[in-house]
Copies of this chain bind each other. A is one copy, B any other.
């Protein structure tokens, strides 16, 4: 037992075991493993805590990320958030427990951050693929025009009220105002469906309309997200740009769904012909990553492609099997996304004792009000259903979840949502932001 290195008394032994020059390769892996352990602990502690006080666990994952991130414990920090390797407790831990040499610390820190950033991005791609897989276009068509009306009103009212309110009341510029407004749009299918199932109202008429609207809401939200995030990238609202984005988002989403419907029988036949382990999962991932790549390459978002791939495969007979197989992968990768987003968020700006923060807090209160009222009014839009409980529908549309949080995260990552949030060395020419905006300093 006296042989275990990492204890100071044994340091004479270490040169014997590690005569290496500063090779950071295996220690990048060690850093990634420690980061993953920290992320999973934070996500489970936060998630379980929120579950017990009846909040969505995903909120706890974000808060867990805030606790381990730049706001508090400094375990998980990222270069572009103003963090340096000397601020990272994980790097200090690696130096204490492995033969990591001081001059290898900065490149190892950069490499670990790069890997964690991509893992988080793959996590959100898997999340949107799963949301697409759980959505159902045909179900939505059955619920009919009421659901569509609720969805459109529920996207338009919070978006318009949030955006114009920010611009007129707070003098916010167009791009961040549009971004904040867009973040208020998407109802969470997951939370809504779960709550409805728990109160046994999933099959009521109100429940059906809510679910239908939430499904369409998510589709609309993803399109709005893609349009807004791309606007944020170019930094201005050019009409040709808006038209390009709306057209390309619509062409991409509708086109890939139509093409997917046409090709999916061949996909199923191909999968049925394959014999080796993981034949369904790997075929589906090839499809999802390919569409994600196309989404990224045509200046939209990778997640839009993943969502489209999920929608298409949801219509095949393989849906149930695939959902079962994607679930553990989502369980493994999605928390990385939420914890990393939380870890990048600097809560320092919410301190009301700092005068410059107060306006932000007032804005946040305004946005929360718009988020609630903007969805409650959707019940009034239901037509041809005199007996319906309009308030129940409106309240049922309030929950925001995955897609809304994705919005907030994109906003936080691109820095358009709260420009004062962003500090540090954004101009290092090696932007690692999620959805990497070139102007992360606003």
Contacts and interface: CB of A to CB of B under 8 A. Distances in A.
A335 interface: yes
Contacts of A256: none
Contacts of A60: 276
Interface stretch (A326-334, A380-388, A400-408): A326-334
Residues of A contacting B: mostly = helix
Interface string A256-291: 000000000000000000111111011101100110
A302 B13 contact: no
Given A3-B247, A431-B25, A328 B278 contact: yes
A3 B274 CA distance: 37
Interface stretch (A162-170, A180-188, A234-242, A371-379): A234-242
A320 interface: no
Given A20-B233, A114-B114, A30 B296 contact: yes
Contact of A429 (B22, B29, B30, B335): B22
Contact of A281 (B23, B98, B331, B436): B331
A125 B32 CA distance: 12
A17 B302 contact: no
Interface in A83-132: 97-98, 107, 111, 114-115, 117-118, 121-122, 125
Contact of A111 (B40, B114, B230, B276): B114
Given A238-B16, A329-B328, A299 B30 contact: no
17 contacts: A6-B298, A17-B299, A19-B235, A23-B431, A24-B436, A25-B432, A26-B296, A30-B302, A33-B289, A36-B289, A43-B282, A44-B274, A44-B283, A48-B276, A278-B331, A281-B331, A328-B328
